[in-house]
A and B are shown apart, each in its own frame.
Chain A
Amino acid sequence: MTLALDHVSLTVNRGEFVAVLGMNGSGKSTLARHFNSLLLPAEGQVLVDGMDTRDEKHLWSIRDRVGMVFQNPDNQIVAAVVEEDVAFGPENQGRPSEEIRQRVEEALTAVGMVHMRERAPHLLSGGQKQRVAIAGALALRPACLVLDEPTAMLDPSGRREVVDVVHRLNRELGMTVVWITHFMEEAALADRVVVMAGGKVALEGAPREVFVQSRRLRELRLDVPPAVAAAERLRARGVELPEGILTLDELVDALCRLHSNK
């Protein structure tokens, strides 16, 4: 018997942006599915706002609080019109129609898709579809969004759209975010990075703490963001860069300081 999750202890704080990394099969998606009772632990407990996910009477309050967004936007869209798709959740909850309208408006505004409310989802770009899927989750007014590789199937501009929208939700609405990804540069933008391996938490910390451990990350079949890799190779050539560079902007600034002091 192999354990998909093996004695994991982890707290995601309110308002935090946590990125989860790990090789294929490391338990990331299994972990994500425990956050809103899609899966229940065989051992141990998962508490959402103090509610035990195994307790059936909490099921719907938990799912209202924790929204999920998956990798393939085409598998998550159910209606033929964008606003009807977003209304699906609150309709299922039997909300009054005035409130549904308001929630849909709010959710589409939050992802910047309100002008496309009457469009057919299948004619949207990948990034737009994924934003509709996020709006569908937001219409339930969750406190937390769990996104399982939401950008894996998107082109660069679609990825940027989805990354920007979710970071704005986190910053402006205080939305708690769990972001699962294979893209190291996306993880670099999180408050905290959790690295899974063999069903366990292998590394955990602020991006600056995690991404200095490039050897360990490569052992875990991962990588470092491109700016970290470039900084490492420049240091190996004797360029005296400060530690903790994570993004290209930071690297460019640091290099320009060296350049002007030359």
Chain B
Amino acid sequence: MPITLEQVSHVYQPGTPYEWRALDNVSLTIPEGEFWGVIGPTGSGKSTLIQHMNGLLKPTSGRVLVDDIDLGQRGVNLKAVRQKVGLVFQYPEQQLFGETIFEDIAFGPRNLGLLAGEVEARVARAMERVGLDPSFRGRTPFGLSGGQARRVALAGVLAMEPRVLILDEPTAGLDPRGREEILALVKTFPGLGMSVVLVSHSMDDVAEQADQVLVMHRGRVHMIGTPAELFSRRAELEAIGLGVPAAAQLVDMLRERGWNLSATAVTLDEAVAGIAAALGKGGGRR
């Protein structure tokens, strides 16, 4: 299910002294089934952008098309759109409220008016997808560890069976392993037929997985490209307050010192392989 933005601008509090153009003439298409990373400094318009993708915000000018349907058209069923485009906000575990984990995850599907059997099946599927053991069903969602609570919140959105999943900083505040676990999980979603849009401050989060990375700056599309294309442009990213993954930074620092390395490494393994080869250790064990 593709999402297209055509010349979208969004102005908060227009006509007041607080007028703020959060999005400025943004055009892009996220094709079906792709994994996109969205990065940008604080205030660059990332959150405003993703809230347009399921109709939570309406553009001040321009059009948003989800599955070729113009969300601004009269009579568009936004509820149906939000079911197809799931949005996971920052710190989603703060929104848990159910008495049990089952109740919490079942809330959305029940609101769709599904039969009890179908609600059961969806909750079970969602729990399986996020790696929560069925024995968690009857437990309270409060007092879970940070990573587990986040899985429950994610399962609540997955139970709506969206075609597109948008995640805003899904790893913020998690310990390194929790971060890896959530990222590994999100990585499986395109294989299940979902497009993924992952918003992050962490370049490492998007380097490892994204098909395309969108860099936002001052409400505009600053760059779009594959991780390898973007992260070889370290100076440009640093100029707007972003960085590159540690692996790309390492390669870049060595290139500045005269090493003949390819600038396309985005993961640590790629960087290490290139460096070892340059030192004549290319055939070493992995």
Interface residues of A (CB under 8 A from B): 22-25, 71, 125-127, 149, 152-158, 182, 184-185, 218, 221-223, 226-227, 229-230, 233-234, 236-239, 248-249, 251-252, 255-256, 258-259, 262
Cβ contact within 8 Å between B272 and A237: yes
Of A24, A155, A229, the residue contacting B175 (CB under 8 A) is A24
Give the distance in Å from the alpha carbon of A152 to the alpha carbon of B178 in the complex: 14
Cβ contact within 8 Å between A24 and B147: yes
Give the distance in Å from the alpha carbon of A206 to the alpha carbon of B85 in the complex: 48
Give the distance in Å from the alpha carbon of A76 to the alpha carbon of B147 in the complex: 25
Determine whether B146 belongs to the interface, using a CB cutoff of 8 Å to chain A.
yes
Q: Could you mark each residue 24-45 of chain B with 1 if its beta carbon is under 8 Å from any beta carbon of chain A, else 0?
A: 0000000000000000111100
Q: Which residues of B contact A256 (CB under 8 A)?
A: 254, 257
- Known A-B contacts A234-B272, A239-B275; the reply to A23 vs B177 at CB < 8 A is yes
Give the distance in Å from the alpha carbon of A194 to the alpha carbon of B176 in the complex: 16
What's the minimum C-beta distance from B235 to chain A, rounded to whole angstroms? 14
Q: Which residues of B contact A259 (CB under 8 A)?
A: 259, 278-279
Cβ contact within 8 Å between B250 and A157: no
What's the minimum C-beta distance from B120 to chain A, rounded to whole angstroms? 30
Beyond A182-B179, A248-B246, 9 additional contacts (C-beta under 8 Å) are: A24-B147, A154-B42, A155-B242, A182-B176, A226-B268, A238-B276, A255-B279, A258-B279, A262-B279
Which residue of chain A is the closest to B243 with respect to CB atoms?
A156
Interface residues of B (CB under 8 A from A): 40-43, 145-147, 172-179, 201, 203, 241-243, 246-247, 249-250, 253-254, 257, 259, 268-269, 271-272, 275-276, 278-281, 284-286
Most interface-central of B43, B278, B279 (chain A CB within 10 A) = B279
Cβ contact within 8 Å between A252 and B268: no
Cβ contact within 8 Å between B42 and A238: no
- Known A-B contacts A221-B175, A221-B177, A237-B276; the reply to A157 vs B242 at CB < 8 A is yes
Cβ contact within 8 Å between A222 and B172: no
Cβ contact within 8 Å between B254 and A252: yes
Q: Which residues of B contact A251 (CB under 8 A)?
A: 250
Q: Which residues of A contact B268 (CB under 8 A)?
A: 226, 229-230, 233
What's the minimum C-beta distance from A159 to chain B, rounded to whole angstroms? 8
Of A126, A184, A226, A255, the residue contacting B247 (CB under 8 A) is A226
Q: Which residues of A contact B271 (CB under 8 A)?
A: 230
Of B42, B43, B147, B285, the residue contacting A237 (CB under 8 A) is B285
Give the distance in Å from the alpha carbon of A255 to the alpha carbon of B279 in the complex: 9
Which residue of chain A is the closest to B203 with respect to CB atoms?
A156
Q: Which residues of B contact A252 (CB under 8 A)?
A: 250, 253-254, 257
- Known A-B contacts A24-B146, A24-B147; the reply to A234 vs B280 at CB < 8 A is no
Cβ contact within 8 Å between A255 and B242: no
Cβ contact within 8 Å between B41 and A155: yes
Q: Which residues of B contact A229 (CB under 8 A)?
A: 268
Cβ contact within 8 Å between B147 and A153: no
